[in-house]
Each structure stands twice: as C-alpha cells, then as structure tokens.
Structure 1
C-alpha cells in the first residue's frame, strides 16, 4: 500500500526537522492541504522531498495582493545534493504564478538556508530583525 500525500509529508517532516510532535500535529491539522503540496518521488516510488505553497493575502497601502508562502521545504538526507529541491522550487514558483500570486516568500529556519534559497529559487532577504536584551533598565530622556 502506498502512503498518502499527508502521510509522506508527515514522515519527511519528522525526518528533516526537529519540531516537537505537538507542533507537527497542529501544522498538519490546521495548515496542511494536499492541493498546496508538492512531493518528489524516487525511482522506487518513495517520497523524498516535500514543500507546501501556502496562499497568503498581502495588504500593501490598502490594496490586497495574492502571494505564496513556501513552507516545509525539505529533502530526505539520503537524497540531498541531487538538485531535487532546486527543481521543486522552480515548479512551485511556476504553480504560484499560474494561480495568480504576485510574489513568493519563505522564512528560512537557519541562517545557512538564506544562501541555499538564493541559489535554488532566486530568493533574496527582504527584511531583517535584531533583538536586543538588556541586563539593566533603559533610561529614557524626554
């Protein structure tokens, strides 16, 4: 018996990410949809890579635009370095364009992924964030 898209996606997520089980259950209960999912299969029919193309509405100066959010992009460790994700990213960008998305975005989980997504999908950092932790209260001057 072959596994469903959902089963394959959950299996790959558990292998590739260090997310706690409650998060995985929540994601696949509330966010996951098969019609937003791309899977790549090996010659033996096993799903070896996964990504979701989640639809979002961006609001810019009062106007709403359709956008796509790449989520859960992962390749089984035994199949990395073969260009699978690069091909899937191109397919995802094409699919999101076809559904009318004006842009696509993702939020890399680790710093090294910024370079990977730049090379694999043409993504570039658009926003930065810094967090400052102070050991003593700040003085404000008015």
Structure 2
C-alpha cells in the first residue's frame, strides 16, 4: 500500500474494508467480527488512515466517562480495535492515527483518551506519548472449592448491572460505560455462554468462550467468596477473575492521555482507578 495518506472518520460503506482489516490484524472469526459491527460499532465514529485509497490503520473508539469520587464525570474516548495492516507497519501510521484521534477528540468535547496496552512493555511506550497509568486491577485464577453459605447468584439486565455497579463504586475513581460501550460488553458476556449477574450485594460480568470462565469484572466485598459462588452456579472448576484489589496486589491495567490541563489536574486517583472492560 503506497500513495497519498489521508486521515478521516469512517463513512457508510467502509464496513467491509474495516472487517477485512480486523480479520487480517486480529485473526477473529467472521461471526465475531460481524457481531461487533451489529452490536458495538457506532457508524461514523471510527477513525482511519488511508494510503493509496486503501485503509491501512483503523481505530474504533467507544464514548465513555470517567467518574470521580464526588460523582463528577468527564467524557473520554476508549481506544478499541486499534491496528495497522501488516504490510504498512513501521511507517508511523499508528502514531499518526492516534495523534489525530486526540485532536479530533478535543474538538468533539472529549477530555481524555483511554486505552489498555496489550502487553506490559507497552506501558512505557505510551508514557513517551503522554499517557499515564491511571487504572489497575487485581487478577487471579481461582479454583472451585467446596464451600457453604455462598452468596446468591442471579442474572440481571444491563441497566440493573449499571445501577448496582455505580452503587458499589461510589466514592471511587471509575469508568462508566454508556451506550454501545456497555451493550458490546453485554453481548460478549451472553453470547459466549456467560452473562451479567448479581452476586450477593455485588455484580459480575462473565464471559465463557470455549467453556473457559473469565470474570471480566467482579465487584464484591469478598471477591474470592463471590467467585466461588459464580463457579458453583455456572458449574465451572476455575475462573480467571478481575476485580479492584488492594495496592500491594494490583497490576497496571489502563492508561489515559488527558486532553486539557483542567482534566489532568482534576484526576487525583493515582494509578488506582477502576477500569473494568478491555473487551479482550
């Protein structure tokens, strides 16, 4: 791919080429990719870099909000499906597209750009681009044990999940998932054989691709006991569990680039914010 380079928003009719680039870069099945464009894609909100008339890089952001302890919320973009065609890598296309995303986000009233680096080494790379680690997680594989007096597990709707989640996270720094940023995670949960659940006085978002249980978010006063309740209810032997955790056990999870000085000053959460969904 060579020729004139153009940065632009996605337009109707781009979907076929976006799906092709997704498959080339990530290797997902056609049904999964098609499902995203039906449930998660916001037409016109994607951003692409073209060269020679072909889409070389893409980024499909979700609109989200970062909420502070007092309930104040600031609008941000979450970077998703960020990739460059293998034939076009090492030409700076990804960095150019990301920089333009930040510029466009500012024009559209976004006050930050959020992403989850794909591997630990990328945290330092994004730091050179002005991103800071603001979100962390506790992650552990939990095996099923025979326990009694476990909390009750029951399915819940996305709206119920959102309300219970906001209640559990009150007084913290956290990310809220309005619109399709929430419906896409809901689809990933239910379509994989998992779901959204109320667990005692908390909530859990569970995916179950290929029978493997992954709890993408567990909000509970006692995460390990709630994980045992989920394993018992779902008939699983082990689960990968993500939850907000104590400082000594946290690992870096998400980064933010603030797009205005006031937002940068507003953030006082250090690296302990709660970012649940990476759609990974």
SS in 2 for 1:129: strand
Whether 2:122 is the aligned partner of 1:94: answer no
In structure 1, how many angstroms separate the alpha carbons of the residues matched to 2:117 and 2:138?
Answer: 16
Q: Greater strand share, 1 or 2?
A: 2
When normalised by structure 1's length, the TM-score is: 0.79
For residue 61 of structure 2, what is the aligned residue in structure 1?
A: 53
Structure number with the bigger relative contact order (C-alpha 8 A, sep ≥ 6) is 2
Q: Deviations over 1:11-60 (max 9, x none)?
A: 111010133433312211112123211111122x1111101232113322
When normalised by structure 2's length, the TM-score is: 0.43
> What pairs up with 1:56-75 in 2 under 5 angstroms?
56-60=64-68, 61-75=70-84
For residue 27 of structure 1, what is the aligned residue in structure 2?
A: 36
For residue 124 of structure 1, what is the aligned residue in structure 2?
A: 132
In structure 2, how many angstroms separate the alpha carbons of the residues matched to 1:85 and 1:104?
Answer: 15
SS in 2 for 1:32: coil
**Cα pair 1:55 1:68 within 8 Å, conserved:** yes
In structure 2, how many angstroms separate the alpha carbons of the residues matched to 1:134 and 1:26?
Answer: 30
Whether 2:20 is the aligned partner of 1:14: answer no
How many residue pairs are counted as aligned between the two chains? 133
Q: CA RMSD in A?
A: 2.3
In structure 2, how many angstroms separate the alpha carbons of the residues matched to 1:23 and 1:94?
Answer: 31
User: Cα gap change, 1:81/1:116 in structure 2, threshold over 3 Å: closer, same or farther?
Assistant: farther
**Cα pair 1:53 1:96 within 8 Å, conserved:** no
Q: Answer with 104-113 or 10-19: which moved more.
A: 104-113
Whichever of the two has the greater Rg, that structure is 2
User: Cα gap change, 1:129/1:48 in structure 2, threshold over 3 Å: closer, same or farther?
Assistant: same
In structure 1, how many angstroms separate the alpha carbons of the residues matched to 2:30 and 2:121?
Answer: 24
